Structure formats: C-alpha cells, structure tokens
Structure 1
C-alpha cells in the first residue's frame, strides 16, 4: 500500500516510535522469569483468584459500562461520601453529586492517560512533566498534537518540581507528576506535592486572570501502595477535603493488587471533571470479570500489607546485593530498582556493568529486566526470583 502516511492525522504523521515496552512488536518468551514489567509476582489475593474462576462463565455478558459497583466500592474505600455531602456540585444530569461521581474507571492506567489526552489536549497545548518517567505520557501528548515540555529529573533522580513550576506558561494545559516515578523508583513526600499543586494553580490564576483557562494537574500514584514512609500521603486527600481546582489522582489495580492482566485503572477527581473524562472513547473498554475482581480485591487489605512487607524485604536484599557488586543503586520506593554504573567506575567495570550487556546476559539465563535511559530496572519478584537474579548478576559481573 502506497503513502499510508498521507491518510493519518497530522499528529500521527510526526509521532515518533513509542519507547514503551507495551508498544514493542515482541512477545514474552515462554519459560522465563519476568522482572521487567513491575508486576506483583505474588499475584492477587487467593480469594480474588477464586472469584475470577467462578465468574468466568459470565463472559458472554457485557460488563456494567458505567462500572457503578466498582466506583461505589472505591468511593467507600476512600470515604468520598463525606466529600460528596459537603460539596455543592451537581453532575451532568443536574443531580447532587454522589460519592461514585468522583471516580473514573479505565482499562488500566494507560487507558486513563489516553482518555486525558482525548478530552483535554488541543494541538499546541503544552504538557509539563519530567523525564525519564512513564512513557505513556509523552505518547499521549504526541497522539493529540500537544507540545511536550520535558524537564530533566534532578541529579538524585527526583521530579524537579521547581523546574516544572517555572515551565508553566499561558499555553500549559496539563502538568504531570509520577510519584513514585517509573523508571527511577524515587518518590517525593506528599506535603511537597501538595504545596506544588497549590503553587501551580496560583500561577495559572495569574496567567489567566479572566478565568478562561486553568491547568489540570495529574498525579500518577500507580506505585503508591509500596511507599514505606509513614509521613507520605496521597493527593486523593486533597480531593477528599474539597479541593476545587482541576486535580486528577491516578491509581491502578495492576501493581500491588496483582491484577495487571485484567487492565483496570482508576482515578479520583472532582465530579465535573469525571463527567467530562468519561466522554472519552476509552471509557467503556474494561472487562466484566475484571470489575468483579477489583471490587473483591479492595476487601483484602491485609493481603496488600503482606505484599508490601515482602516487597520491602526483597527490595532491601536486592539493593544491598547490587551495591556490593559495585552498582549505583537509586534509593527505591516502589516494587523495582533503578541501578547503573557509578561515576568512578573503571573502564573494565563499565564494560561489565553496561546496561544493555547486563540485560542481554540475563536474558540468556531466561531472566528479563529492562535497560532504560542508560540504567537497568529490575522488578522485585518473589524471594526465590530475587535470589536467582542476584546469583546471575554475580556471574555476569564477576
């Protein structure tokens, strides 16, 4: 077929190839240990697995397109009934907002991100975020003809909030913070993120004094459940307390809940924004069994605490072993570790620690990890998988 490019939307004609693993034309080989997708290798709670098995006979039925039961379950989980009661907002039907009106459901976090682009971005709108970070966001900006405003991470691999703030202009439509960040695994304490959100919206008010536009702040908290800091808190609290500027806080069932293959993500936001976002084409693509499993998964928080504890134990083991092998290990806060070559490494050490070489050598041993941005990223699997990974790393480096 000739000249397919001429048929495409303008933004797709110039979109560069995606760097996301999910967009590569490859499949995972059989019989390998997957430590490359940040999955929860312990899987979901056993009760959730049983429910999935019991529900498989209903796949002939369409799912609840509005996902009302799951939205209500999420709203109950976060106590949004009090938020709705205190608010004076009405939904798109002119009714008083209900707790579930604060919740958006999508076919995974990536689908929710695509929905944001579809709903908010006009060609030329600026989207501010840091890189390296989750590649879904640059993809989304390109898809809809937006302008990527990419701020480098700080020297210690954190989101540069000051740099992002300075980059906000009258053309800024979205500001994105991924916390904890992927692929670096670093996080910023909730108090600093909240301060940043207030500052961004105050600046937006100065840039648009007539109120004709605002900035939508997106905080992606896909790995929130893994953070081991008792002072850290979710930006969902801002929505709970009635924050009235555009704020969208993303979460997923793919990571700590162990349900990545079911593709269910969600976000908490103000009802007016939620109504607008649910107009997107991606809004109805989740599966019926997936909705049922996620409803059930919220009931087993003791299992999530167990998964978190195991992750911390295994994560500390892997981090310590990698340091002993001479790698620079970025302090991790999620279920993966970002590691690379220290600045003072010798030429011989650099050759042994080369990220692509390490990745390929591990693949030959049927262990898959990533090699993004001049580093390696390894997911934290089970204790047995972590020991297998470290044993292989010792062979490769020594």
Structure 2
C-alpha cells in the first residue's frame, strides 16, 4: 500500500507541521489544521467559462462534459438560435461548488466584440474553454489575448469535427483521419502563434462522441487544470470516461483518508475542537457515510452510472453487472463491521508507511484502524470503477 501525499489534502509540509504542532501546541492546534483541510475540500469553488461565437456548440459541450444529454432535466438548453443572453452557471451533478459557465456568443449584435470582454468580466473565472465550429477568427484571437492578459489559461476546442470528416467522405476523398486531424490542429496552432500566443492547447472533438477523436485526450488533461486548492473538487466532477480519471480520483481520496483518519485519532484528546458530525473514532455509521461518499466520488452511485451509460450508449444494467462489490448500492452494516474487525487486526502494518503520523498515534489506535479500513474500501471501489469504464468504452 503506497502512501499518498497529494497537496490538496495533506501535503508533506503539512504532515511535518502536524508533528511540530503536536509537540509545541498540543492536539488542539493539530485539530484546527485538519479541520481547515476538510473545510477547504468541501467548500472550494471552481468556475470554468465556456466562450466563443454563437452556434459553436457551447451548450452541447457543457452537457457532454457533465455526462448529460439535452433531454435531461439539468441539461443546458441547446438550439440553432441564440439561446444565451447572460452567463449561466451549470453545476456538476453531486458537486455544488464546480460550475461550467456558458457565456453568450461573442460578435453578435447583442454582444459586439469591443464590448463583450468588459461585459463578461473574465476575471471572475478560473479557467476557459474557447469553442469554435469554423476557421480561426479575429474573435478567437481577442478572447485568447484577454485570457492571457489576465494571466489565466484556456483550452481551444474545435467542435463538430465529425462534420468535417463526413464532408471529406461525401466528396469521395480518400480520408486518412489522423492526417486530416493533424492538419486541422496545426492550422489552429499556427493561427494562434501568428497572434503571439505560443503553444496553445487545441482539441478536436465531436460533442456526441465522448470516447472518440480528441475527447479522451481532453478528459485526461483536465485534472491538471486547477490549482492545488481546486484540483480535488474538479477531478471528482469528471465522468469516468478513462482509466486515468479513475486513478486520479483514487489518489485524491487516498489523501482524504489521511485527513479523516487523523480526525479519528484526535477524537478522544481534542473532541471539543472537532466539528460535530465528522468521522468519530471507528463508529460504523460514520464509516458507512464516508464509504457512500467515496462511492459517489468514484462514480459508482446509481445516478453516475445512469449518466455514464447514456454517454456510452450502453444499458445501465451492463455497467451495474460488473460492479461486484457489496460497497456499491445500499452499503451493508455487517460488511463494514467485518472490514472494521479485519482492520483492527492488521492496523499495525500501516505504522511504517506513515512515519510522521506514526509518531503521534500508536499502532492499533483509531487512526490506523480507520486508515486501513478506508484504504481497503477505496481499493475495492477503484477496481469496480475500472471494470465499469472498460465495460462502458471497451478500454483495455
């Protein structure tokens, strides 16, 4: 079992601070640090703006990114006419602090380019997608330059690429898809360079084919967008379209296990300083709640499986059939109790893996029992999530 040290939860520097604070200021100071980390995880906002010219497919892109279709209740409104007159924020399912903001189209009579940038207040957003459905335009350049002026980053998304490929086929051309895509991508990269924007990130996608063209590469790169304080909440918002996303979620939850286990270890000595309702010792009810949250974070709850099945065009029953763990669905109390008993027996094995925490809590304490139990549960959920991705998209 490898140790995780993801900075979004408990960095190596913070672990050392835990050790120092424990010696100098007592467990109360440690409790406050741990409390701050959990609060940061549960309350960090991440706002992504989706901008570009009208009709480029912004609404459909937002739906695809959230694993929704146009007829779903929470879907962004799509259409061939102008549908967005002001920024509209769309939450990711189950994650209230991650938003994709659909901005009105630039260059229309309602939003001419010279007024658009000021009205849209780009400084409000953490990251940008510039969506285009045609050749590189002056408006694309203006958007990119404003984003760079604000020292922020963007991805350029060329949508409706399947239409371009279909046109080549209808003209009876011999199509080498890889060569065509490289030519189109290089055209946009060169166009940005002419505007003084070096090394832009360009993805060529179809909004309706989330596991084809550049959509898988886009999903793989997305977790690297946010700053450390925002990374966790954003990664958990992504649908499980690749094995890489599943692994990134697992690594982040390993970091969260450190924080939750530390709460457990601090309970008896510093309970007045710990928020009510957080994990208490090795209480089975609390552990069940954490594992249910892990299940949602790993995309194994019913709602997430339904959305993924729609994206993949597969019956949801096929995905549920490969999720063979009792931790999915209605978590059984007896299952958690059995895992808990095994964790008590083997908790001492974890001591050497976490030397800093090991100096504070003794082997067999609630810290190590909790750490072992949640780690085992996460490993099982990860294996199931990986099977679901393979069943949905045929990933090897």
**TM-score scaled by structure 1?**
0.26
> Relative to total residues, which structure has the larger helix share, 1 or 2?
2
> Relative to total residues, which structure has the larger strand share, 1 or 2?
1
Quick check: which has more Rg, 1 or 2?
2
